[in-house]
Structure 1
Amino acid sequence: MSKLPQQLNKAFFAATALFLVGCSNTRFVPEGDYLYTGASINILSDSLSKSKKTELKNVLEASLTPKPNASFLGLRPKLYIYNITSEPKKDKGFKHWLKYKVGEKPVHLSDVDIPFNLDLIENTGENRGYFNISASYDTLPKNKKVKIKYNVSPRTQYLINKVTFPTDSTVLSTEINKTVDKTLLKVNEPFNLEVIKTERERIDASLKENGFYYFDPDNLIIQVDSTEVKHKVDLNLKVKNNTPELARKQFTIDKIYIFSDYNLRSNRNRRNLVRADVDTLLWKENSYIIDPKKKFRPQIYDRALYFKSGDLYNRSNHNLTLSRLINLGTFKFVKNQFVLTDSLSNKFDVFYYLTPNDFKSLRLETLGKSNSASYVGGEVNFNWRHRNFLRGAELFAATLYTAIDFQLGGNKDANNIYRVGSRFSLTWPRIIAPFKFESSSAFVPRTRVELGYEFQNRTQLYTLHNFNASFGYIWKENALREHDLKLIEITYVTPENETAKFEEQKADNPSLARITERQLIFGPVYSYTYTTTMLPKKHTFYYKGLLDLSANLTGLISGANADQEEPKTILGVPYSQYVKMEHDFRYYLKLDETSQIATRFIGGVAYPYGNSIHMPFSKQFFVGGSNSIRAFRARTLGPGSYDPRNDKSSFFHDQAGDIKLEANVEYRKKLVSFLNIAAFVDAGNVWLFNDEEGREGGKISKDFLSEIAVGAGIGLRFDFNILILRTDLAIPLRVPYYPKGDRWSFNEINFKDKYWRRDNLMLNIAIGYPF
């Protein structure tokens, strides 16, 4: 039999199977009923514009209930799973999970309350200004399935003719009239009940900023009069007559009490026992701190409390104070209470109840790992933290770690890697600087000092000592924007015990000398992050930009230049001079509740000049691996068209570049509650600015686009809420070190060939999403 008839037969059987799955749901429908497959809105109007019809149609369809069973390519697999799974005997177990978590209960015509939907359509239309709207319906049954078509006659939409606000001379009315220029109720705009509700909330928010602590949006009423002008309404905003007297008053702050060591149980009635005794410290005028054990220095509240005695209450300072107290990271629970003390003078006291976290914590972390360079190993971390190190909510963190990597298999000689190191950091919840730094953000600005050291031993080859230190600031404008400025970051790397074997390797491959060269790097590093990914929107973005400078001013003063025979030194160590920039853009498109398209583009440039011919190895760019171009091993791709198969060294080493371009596209689909699937395409490479002996083809040229690597694959994500385990299987589609004209590798794909699978199938196992 020829291949064509075989393929046609397979296609026929596949189509038949899909058809049977799609139709088989109807055999479970009870006699006399139908499977409900959805509803549509048919707008009957010659006067409405196309855009108005579309807008009204979308609003009305979104309000209809119930929603039909979920479908995929016209099929309803979740419903089918529910139907074929017998009723479980228990409310737990696999069968219960399969039927009620994976499966989906059928929606029948008998479940649809058509009169209710008709009323809902008319009410929704009236709330949009279509006061004379009417609706009817038709059922469209077919093969035990049914759709419902609602025919809607909206007629004329009423517009706003006039808006009036309170005109009396009370303090409340005066404050309301101050907001008139920001009103959402515009003349000649359509009447919309949702806009009216939002207007009430807008006025309430403005009043809350001006002392009206007890006011509520429900204290406002907006009267609608449609008798003055045809197809138009007059809106009259009023304060309800039954509004409580307290809601009509502006309030100021009298006394402030801060319980720094509040216990939810033992201090339940402590507010009633406040007195000026040894437990109470008068911090400022009418402001008191209750901290018997002197756990905190009062200065921490200077930058956290935005209220002071005599201030007019406003909600922004109320929320900002709570946010800052929480953001200190020292308190487990933060709550406050406003207590009316003098209704005649409109004053109340403020109480802040702060329950500290455990200041000290010790955590042991163990990690097992493997990578695509045939290394397996483990790491042990001891982490000690103190959240109130100097009694000012300072965070001190110390980490001691040791790690080992063994090479198993592969085509290189075994060279195990041992690492031992430590990291120390101290973070103050304020900006320590000779200048004044003001921030009205809900996030506390911070000053951080970091120190670190790592000893690395690559057996039979070399050992390295790596020292680093930094001082800088971290602050957030808001939840979307964050700045990280290290005024100075210093890295010093020095080698020790380079073996004869490694010296021999360097002779064959001069680029290896870069790994163990002495390095002194110092300068500022600044990064800026903007993200909307936490917002429930269809389109969200992430951007992180980085600027890294080293010895720019020092090189200028010392006259360092590329023509000098020997580089300038500090204490006998050549210092690196460069400018480095990196930009990471990400865009996420939410297709529906279960699927998303995620994209990323990374561009980076690191330019050595003056005292440096090459970038320091630790500051260069790398690609490949589980979070980059997944069809290639980590840090083995590039630079340019360099062919790693010609590498004569006896061990795997990282391939680095001065320029980086990378792009990724990933489609993500949720299959069941904990299982997601993804399909992805990755592309990119790194290049050098200058030629390097032993890495031919690595320098960037005008043909750099022809050296872009491309890979694609599929993956599974196991989302267990606290942990996301990711597996990605990828294959190379374009290999930059193949001869020009033959770099696309589609014709080499052969899943039946075990040698091809060994060399080209890359399985990446990782934690979390790649981007």
Structure 2
Amino acid sequence: MRMGFCSKNNMAKLSLLSLLAIVLLSCNSLKKVEDDEYLVIKNTIYADSIKVNNEELQSLIYQKPNSTVLGYPLRLNLYNLAKENPDSSFNAWLYKKENRKNRLTKLLSAKQVNRLGESFAVKGLSNWLKDIGEAPTVLDTTRTRLSLARLSAFYQGMGYFTNNTTYEIDTTKQNKKAKINYHIKLGDPYMIDSLGNNILSTAIDSLYFLNSANSLVKEGQQFNLSNFNKERERLTGIFRNNGIRNFQESSITFDILRDTTKSADDQKMNITLNIGDLKTRGENEVTTSAYKVEKINKINIYTDYLSTHINDSIYTIDYRNYTIHYSKNFDIKPKTLANAIFFKKDSIYRDVDKIRTSRQLNALNIFKYPNIIFEADSTSNNVNTNIYLAPKSKYSLGTNFEVSRSNLRRLGVGIGTTLLIRNIFKGAENLSISADGAYGLLSNNTFEANYFSEFGGDITLDFPRIWFPFINTSRIIPNYTLPKTRVAIGTSFQNNIGLDKQTFNTVLGYNWVPSDFVNHNVELLNIQFVRNVNSNRFFNVYNNTYERLDDIADNYENEPSLSEFFESNTDATNPKLIIPVGTTGFIDAIQNRTISSTTEDFNNVVLIEERRKRLTENNLIFTTNYTFNKTNRTGIIDNTFYQFRWKIESAGNLLSAFSSVVPFNKNDQEQLLVFGVPFSQYIKNEFEYVKYWDLSRSNVLAARVFLGIAIPYGNSDNIPFVRSYFAGGSNDNRAWFPYSLGPGSVSAVNDFNEANLKIAANLEYRFPIVGDIKGAIFADVGNIWNVLDNVEDSAATFDSIDSLKDIALGTGLGLRYDFTYFLFRLDLGFKTYNPAEIQSERWFRDYNFANSVLQIGINYPF
């Protein structure tokens, strides 16, 4: 019956998709291309008869083919659906029949008839289709010649000054489509024969020769205009970081002399570097003055620049050659300001000091914006520095509200609030106090009550330095790396959610950022205590595990000694184990051999009991971890970059070492106890690499690889549930729901499947569709396994390289809408290769809409 239902359902969906495909394919992309016109469908560039696939070159062509979605010109066909002149079409329809307008006027009124002509259905729809669509790219040979000139100029910038360009258009009258081929005959490039200089400023002259060895323009090099631009940027940076505060990049020019009378085999050029004086534009004239090396003289810091207090309420203090002006309205420790400012009296001016100062002052999160102004002394080479600061409000209150729904929660409402107190101890310390709660209705009758609740709170203190007793960390981690120490403590309480966990956690962590591309994070102490309040609910919550146990108990329901463990008012043919008395009693009877059982049943009951104990025991996790992040992304619009993350975490070692000094109590399993709870001990290592490729015209290929492993030892033979890995979900393998994949080839026997080894990789092609709507095609591979822990099931463990055959493959389609500040995502995943099936039926067995998985997410998965 199920197969028949699925077949009919699939046939209906297939018919719908077929109809949609027919509609799309029936659109005529040439509808608005006149008989004497051609639609440009392809541009090809050849340099010396070699095809060039270069996005920068393609961007120089004026007439680009219409965009496509997976090869289909969707925006063009949407544009073609719009009426060219909807007003004329409406009037033609209105007056086509003699009495039509009169009848409509009597029925609606003359005013409403006119409004009908301006309505969305008549006019607005066509305008909307034109806005989201794309007009056909019709061949224009004038623009083709302009494109050719651009291509020629591009190669001239690379030294091919004698290049010749032509184009040819491949057209056919039948389909009115054109392919344009651009041909560039490069010739021989010009080479730099000699490199001279003409530097007017003696201060710059010495700086230039000290750094000339690293010049990007060298003798014997092929001429390339981009190298000259990069050299100007390099020299400007050197000069401005060596005292030439007001150096202008426009002062650097190059004289390029090429001898056009020489033979083609002797295409050489002579280059002269010119660095002129400082030019200042006045009202009526331009004046020049020599560049000079400036030194920092007096440094003034105004901490309450926007204060409305009168002048006599401003106080002054000198600290480390800084003059600090402050008011009673805002007070901050001088040392905090000194650590955030990198200008030093009597040192030469450096641009990098200005950048680092602005960056650090912003990172303190107590000032609105820093304003740094320099005043040059006309009689000397000194410059005074004035730093104006406007403090932010001391108190800031934020709230958030959310509505949620899931397979466990019919409806949930959550609210949270955060109070931020800035500069609480006058050293730029920021205290954050947050509280949040959620309340709602459950989707099932797992518990007697039909509601759930959850609430918690956190207190976090951030201060702008690395705090470590008895060590001056600024020598190891400089202040310009934005050092920060964070101390946090928090708790949360659940009611009618799983086993009703109570969680207490505290963190002492450090973070510093040496550059815009590297980030270091250390959590010296991360302590988490998890208490399961209602562990006797285990079989109510983990229904799959209960069903497995109850199926085993069916084989022993006629045992007289077990009768009290089964419900008396249930169906006599299939009595159910009572929770928790019956489940506990049956497990004890099997494990203690009170009744005889098969070896298979005994082993399965032992496995179930081991999992129950593991998931219901309280956890004390005492860890230290380090995370390294690196990227070369230059901004949010950069789509050609990589990201690398490495994290290593160690748990329990400090407590284990302490136990050798102070004896700890032990439980029956010889585990060391802290406050009556066995602490976890493991080592965990994670690697993640993300790479983006910009394929042109907002088409992006993104890939991710992840490897994580956590190995228990010493005081533990498994990993705590909250620190283990799972597979599936909107940011992982999207063809499976969270916790439903693995481990290994196990067929999701538990409600929440997790393990301590994870391998995953994702590949996603992203493309624009219409406006802010974007699409994606993706493939996700990966799985989880148990390794080096107490799980012995061969189907769930990673034993050798052969275990990689159990890697799952999910493929699918995605639809996204970009709201600018966030992106809403829908992904439909299909199980392409399912390791939970038998070997011969793993490929495409559940590859259909009936077994597809719809994932909802916010922002991109990676």
Could you state the TM-score of these two structures normalised by the residue count of structure 2? Answer: 0.76
Shift of 1:481: 1.6
The aligned residue for residue 261 of structure 1 is 304
CA distance in 2, matches of 1:481, 1:107: 44
Question: Partners in 2 of 1:585 and 1:58 — Cα distance?
Answer: 25
| Shift, 1:768, TM fit | 2.0
Deviation of 1:415 (Å): 7.7
2:486–2:510 contact (8 Å) kept in structure 1 = yes
Moved more, 761-770 or 428-437: 761-770
Q: C-alpha deviations, 1:655-706, integer Å up to 9, x for none?
A: 2212222222222222122212223233333233467689884444345334
What is the SS of the residue equivalent to 2:156?
helix
Instruction: Quote the RMSD (CA, aligned, Å).
Output: 3.9
450-459 vs 505-514, which deviates more?
505-514
Matched, 1:437 2:473: yes
CA deviation string 1:711-770 (max 9, x = no partner): 3332221211123222222233344444x425516245554xxxxx3xx33222222222
Give the 3-state SS of the residue equivalent to 2:524 in structure 1: strand
2:630 maps to which residue? 530
Work out whether residues 580 and 607 of structure 1, in 8 Å CA contact, stay in contact via their aligned partners in 2.
yes
Residue 358 (str. 1) matches residue 456 (str. 2)? no
Note the alpha carbon deviations across 1:331-365, whole angstroms, 9 max, x for none: 2222222222x222022222222233333222222
2:350 aligned residue (314, 338, 362): 314
1:635 aligned residue: 739
Aligned residue runs from structure 1 range 554-633, under 5 A:
554-556=655-657, 558=659, 565-633=669-737
Q: Contact 2:682–2:710 (CA<8 Å) still a contact in 1? A: yes
CA distance in 2, matches of 1:242, 1:769: 49
After superposition, where does 1:405-554 map in structure 2 within 5 Å? 406-409=441-444, 417-433=452-468, 434-438=470-474, 439=477, 443-458=481-496, 462-499=499-536, 501-502=579-580, 505=583, 507=587, 509-510=608-609, 511-535=611-635, 539-554=640-655
Amino acid at match of 2:132: V
Match for residue 852 of structure 2 among 750, 761, 769: 761
**What is the alpha-carbon distance in structure 2 between the residues aligned to residue 693 and residue 417 of structure 1?**
33
Partners of 2:17 and 2:344 lie apart in 1 by 76
CA, structure 1 residues 137+621, in 2 after alignment: closer, same or farther (shift >3 Å)?
closer
Distance 1:440 1:37, change over 3 A: farther
DSSP 3-state at the match of 2:340: coil
Amino acid at match of 1:446: K
Residue type of the alignment partner of 1:98: W
Q: 1:765 to 1:186 in 2, by over 3 A?
A: same
Is the Cα contact below 8 Å between 2:199 and 2:276 reproduced in 1? Answer: no
In structure 1, the residue matched to 2:547 is none
Provide the secondary structure at the position in 2 that maps to 1:320.
helix
Report if the CA contact (8 A) 1:561-1:610 is conserved. no
Instruction: Tell me if structure 2 keeps the 8 A contact 1:691–1:699.
Output: no
Q: Partners in 2 of 1:325 and 1:241 — Cα distance?
A: 34
Unpaired runs of 5+ residues, structure 2, are: 1-14, 88-117, 280-286, 538-578, 588-604
Alignment CA distance shift 1:194-1:518 (3 Å): closer
- 1:454 to partner: Cα distance: 1.8
Question: Whole-Å Cα distance in 1 between the matches of residues 634 and 177 of structure 2?
Answer: 40
Match of residue 437, structure 2, among 402, 408, 416: 402
- Distance in 1 between residues matched to 2:119 and 2:359, nearest whole Å: 42
CA contact (8 A) 2:314 2:325 kept: no
Higher helix share: 2
CA distance in structure 1 between the aligned counterparts of 2:745 and 2:201, rounded to whole angstroms: 79
Tell me the residue number matched to 1:687: 785
CA contact (8 A) 1:449 1:471 kept: yes
**By how many angstroms is 1:534 displaced?**
5.0
Kept in 1, the 8 Å contact 2:787–2:799? The answer is no
Q: Specify the code of the residue in structure 1 equivalent to 2:525.
A: I
74 and 522 in structure 1: CA distance in 2 versus 1, 3 angstrom threshold: closer
Q: Structure 2 residue aligned with 1:295, among 327, 331, 351?
A: 331
Matches within 5 A, 1:78-89: 78-86=75-83
Q: Distance in 1 between matches of 2:768 and 2:71?
A: 17
Deviation at 1:305, TM superposition (A): 0.8
Instruction: Report percent identity of matched pairs.
Output: 27
| Deviates further, 189-198 or 681-690 | 681-690
Contact 1:406 1:416 in 2 (8 A): yes
Change (3 A) 1:117 1:687: closer
For each residue in 1:389-408, what CA deviation from the matched residue of structure 2 results, as whole angstroms up to 9, or x when unmatched?
22322221122122346442
Q: 1:343 to 1:13 in 2, by over 3 A?
A: same
Q: Secondary structure at the match of 1:293?
A: coil
Displacement, 1:29?
3.3
Shift of 1:280: 3.3
Cα contact 1:338–1:350 (8 A) shared by 2: yes
Structure 1 residue 312, shift from structure 2 partner: 1.1
Instruction: Give the CA deviation at 1:417.
Output: 4.6
Alpha carbons of 1:405 and 1:63: their partners in 2 closer, same or farther (altered >3 Å)? Answer: same
Using the TM superposition, give the Cα deviation of residue 419 of structure 1 relative to its aligned residue in structure 2, in angstroms: 2.4
Does structure 1 residue 198 correspond to structure 2 residue 289?
A: no
- Alignment partner of 1:28 out of 11, 29, 32: 32
1:426 shift after superposition: 0.5
After superposition, the Cα gap between the structure-2 partners of 1:462 and 1:14, relative to the gap in structure 1 and judged at 3 Å, is closer
Q: How far 1:316 sits from its partner (Å)? A: 0.9
Partner of 2:804, secondary structure, is helix
Contact 2:217 2:227 in 1 (8 A): yes
SS at 2:78's partner residue? Answer: helix
Identify which of 230, 233, 247 aligns with 2:269.
233
The residue identity in structure 1 corresponding to 2:761 is A
The verdict on how the C-alpha distance between 1:595 and 1:97 changes in structure 2, with shifts beyond 3 A counting, is farther
Cα distance in 1 for partners of 2:396, 2:491 equals 22
* Count of equivalent residues: 731
Residue number in structure 2 paired with 1:6? none
TM-score by length of 1: 0.84
Cα distance per residue 1:318-339 (max 9 Å; x no partner) = 1111111122222222222222
Could you list the runs of 5+ residues in structure 1 that have no partner in the other structure? 1-8, 752-756
User: How big is the shift at 1:13?
Assistant: 11
Bigger CA radius of gyration? 2
Post-superposition shift, 1:161? 0.6
Q: Name which of structure 1's ranges 719-728 and 101-110 shifts more when overlaid on structure 2.
A: 101-110
Preserved CA contact (<8 Å) 2:299 2:321 = no
TM-superposed CA distance for 1:162, in Å, is: 0.9
1:4 alignment counterpart: none
Structure 1 residues 27-426: aligned runs within 5 Å: 27-30=31-34, 33-37=37-41, 39-43=43-47, 62-71=59-68, 76-86=73-83, 95=125, 98-110=128-140, 112-113=142-143, 116-117=146-147, 119-143=149-173, 144-166=176-198, 170-227=202-259, 230-240=266-276, 243=279, 245-246=288-289, 248-263=291-306, 278-285=314-321, 287-340=323-376, 342-372=377-407, 376-404=411-439, 406-409=441-444, 417-426=452-461
1: distance between equivalents of 2:835 and 2:168?
A: 62
**Is 277-286 or 189-198 further displaced after alignment?**
277-286
Give 1:446 shift.
Answer: 0.3
Structure 1 distance, partners of 2:189, 2:833, is: 59
Contact 2:339 2:479 in 1 (8 A): no
| Aligned partners of 1:637 and 1:655 also within 8 Å | yes
CA distance in 2, matches of 1:135, 1:12: 47
Which residue identity is paired with 2:457?
A: S
- Secondary structure at 1:213's aligned position in 2? coil
Question: What's the offset of the Cα at 1:372?
Answer: 4.4
Q: CA separation in 1, counterparts of 2:534 and 2:47?
A: 83
**1:410-450 CA distances to partner (integer Å, 9 max, x unpaired)?**
99998865322211111111111232234457551100001
Counterparts of 1:704 and 1:392 in 2: how far apart (Å)?
55
Evaluate the alpha carbon distance shift between residue 58 and residue 488 of structure 1 in structure 2; reply closer, same or farther with a 3 A threshold: closer
- 1:5 aligned residue: none
